């Protein structure tokens, strides 16, 4: 069965399962979920633990030997498989299927892997595993979910933040949950007390470093939502991290090509709700995509794609323009704002 991380404790307490498969790309949440599963089974008597790092050269005979040599008086065993990629080779599929067929009650397998793609989850072999196991998909905490996540974590540490202090903390740790957890621990240690800690703006400004981490897709969503301040902050952050500008341009042009037929449908009178549904937009992206489809026009999208070619030339050194400046102007236009040029005066 498939569950969310917030339902893991309830699932563990409800009864034992032979296999737990953790997948996702958020290190902190993966680590904490794995620790929760290990702790639960250690308390249940699974004292013996073995760990295998699984790559393409992994010998599955070691796994078969480990899961097949329990005697009548052996201790309960906890076996971890840490996958380097989010799929199994044929030997691995067969070994895991054979283990599930044995119905061993003194063995538990914990598999951790990068995010599982839908194409993998739809395969026959994975559905067979899922029906007899627990699959936990660990999703990143987006900007909308980050305030609640941070506040709950701080309250557990007996820290009560002021609203403005919480907002600054969000800006400084967004996209980096590991840094967020470390900053909370640091604040608790600096306070040096078990009493309730009141966290104000001044303390956050003095103590918390800017550990925010962004990617090109967050930048695109900020542009779709028309958030100019966030666009510039993310763009500056990506430039400081040394991200190649063509990577960002690729994300922008891909989004424009996805939006173009959606905008055409809207212009032809199709309801926006129907467009989003038939286009299979993920829930966490509905808000930015909806805002963009409502605002953009087909001619503008074609203009933006034409402008993207100029950005591409700047990135490759074909023209003397600064690629980061060109990206900034492209994103500003995508956000629905005016760009000031020699031929286009500023709108005041």
Alpha-carbon span 204 to 202, nearest angstrom: 6
Instruction: Answer whether residue 12 shows pLDDT above 90.
Output: yes
Per-domain boundaries in the chain:
2-138, 146-207, 216-334
pLDDT tens string 253-303 = 999 999 999 999 999 999 998 998 888 887 778 899 999 999 999 999 999
Domain range 216-334, CATH architecture: Up-down Bundle (1.20)
The C-alpha R_g of the chain, in whole angstroms, comes to 25
Instruction: Check residue 214 and give its pLDDT.
Output: 87
pLDDT tens string 197-248 = 899 999 998 888 888 888 899 999 999 999 999 999 999 999 988 999 999 9
**What pTM value is reported for the model?**
0.71
Q: Exposure string (b/e) for 178-210, b if CB count within 10 Å is 16 or more?
A: ebbbebbeebbeebeeeeebebebebbeeebee
Model confidence at 348, pLDDT cuts 50, 70, 90, reads very low
Fold category of 146-207 in CATH: Helicase, Ruva Protein; domain 3 (1.10.8)
Instruction: Check residue 344 and give its pLDDT.
Output: 43
State the number of CA atoms in the 13 A half-sphere of 287 facing the CB: 10
Q: In what order do the strands lie in the sheet with 2-3?
A: 2-3, 134-138, 19-24, 107-113, 77-83, 48-54
Domain range 2-138, CATH architecture: 3-Layer(aba) Sandwich (3.40)
Alpha-carbon span 182 to 292, nearest angstrom: 36
Q: DSSP string covering 233-276, please? A: HHHHHHHHTT--HHHHHHHHHHHHHHHHHHHHHHHTT--HHHHH
Residue ranges of E strands in 175-254: 197-199
């Amino acid at each position: 069965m498939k569950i969310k991380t917030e339902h893991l404790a309830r699932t563990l307490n409800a009864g034992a399962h032979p296999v737990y498969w953790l997948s996702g790309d958020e290190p902190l949440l993966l680590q904490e979920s794995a620790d929760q599963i290990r702790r639960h089974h250690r308390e249940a008597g699974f004292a013996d633990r073995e760990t295998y790092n699984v790559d393409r050269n992994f010998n599955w005979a070691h796994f078969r030997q480990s899961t097949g040599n329990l005697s009548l008086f052996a201790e309960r065993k906890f076996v971890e498989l840490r996958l380097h990629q989010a799929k199994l080779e044929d030997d691995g599929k067969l070994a895991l299927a054979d283990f599930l067929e044995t119905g061993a009650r003194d063995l538990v397998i914990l598999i951790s892997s990068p995010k599982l793609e839908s194409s993998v989850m739809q395969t026959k072999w994975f559905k067979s595993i899922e029906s007899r196991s627990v699959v936990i998909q660990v999703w990143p905490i987006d900007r909308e979910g980050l305030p609640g996540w941070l506040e709950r974590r701080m309250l557990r540490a007996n820290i009560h933040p002021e609203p403005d202090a919480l907002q600054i903390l969000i800006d400084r740790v967004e996209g980096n949950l590991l840094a967020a957890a470390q900053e909370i621990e640091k604040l608790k240690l600096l306070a040096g007390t078990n009493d309730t800690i009141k966290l104000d703006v001044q303390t956050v400004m003095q103590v918390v470093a800017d550990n925010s981490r962004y990617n090109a897709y967050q930048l695109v969503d900020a542009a779709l939502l028309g958030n100019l301040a966030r666009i510039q902050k993310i763009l500056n952050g990506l430039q400081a991290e040394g991200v190649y500008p063509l990577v960002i341009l690729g994300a922008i042009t891909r989004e424009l090509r996805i939006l173009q037929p959606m905008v055409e449908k809207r212009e032809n009178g199709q309801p926006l709700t129907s467009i989003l549904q038939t286009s299979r937009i993920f829930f966490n992206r509905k808000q930015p995509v909806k805002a963009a489809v409502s605002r953009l026009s087909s001619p503008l999208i074609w203009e933006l794609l034409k402008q993207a070619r100029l950005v591409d030339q700047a990135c490759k050194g074909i023209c003397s323009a600064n690629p980061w400046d060109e990206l900034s102007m492209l994103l500003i236009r995508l956000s629905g704002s005016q760009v000031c040029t020699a031929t286009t005066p500023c709108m005041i």
